[in-house]
Amino acid sequence: MITCFIRYEIDPFKKSQFCDYAKAWGQAIPRCGADLIGYFAPHEGSSATAYGVYSIESLAAYEAYRARLAEDPLGRENYAFASRERFILKEDRIFLRNVSLPHGPKVSP
């Protein structure tokens, strides 16, 4: 399993458009095969940094997922919405693998 972290630089005056964009991905991403962890909009600190995070089985699965997303009606509309409204100024994507041990309950001494 790999996790995709998308770092967005958004127009701080168009945060509500980014939130609408994120809500649409909340439906389309799971439908197309990825495990959406969430989209995160600015709250405190930077007013222009946002994130999208989801997990998928492999880079090969990611390629198939991206193809499904491009064909999904909501996916296509969301890409068009972002292009039309121009609230995303920059987008960077990185794929990471969780290498920590599984988290368990805290044990009292």
Between CA 107 and CA 99 the distance in angstroms is 22
Q: Show the tokens assigned to 76.
A: 């296509």
Residue 100 lies in a domain: no
The parent domain of residue 82 ranges over 2-92
Residue 55 lies in a domain: yes
Q: List the pLDDT tens digit at each of the 109 positions of the chain.
A: 999 999 999 999 999 999 999 999 999 999 999 999 999 999 998 999 999 999 999 999 999 999 999 999 999 999 999 999 999 999 999 999 999 867 767 666 6
Between CA 17 and CA 72 the distance in angstroms is 20
Residue 101 lies in a domain: no
Whichever domain contains 34, its CATH number is 3.30.70.100
Structural domain tally of the chain? 1
Neighbours of 8 (CB within 10 A): 23
* Sign of torsion over alpha carbons 19, 24, 27, 30: negative
Residue 74 lies in a domain: yes
Give the SS3 label for residue 58.
coil
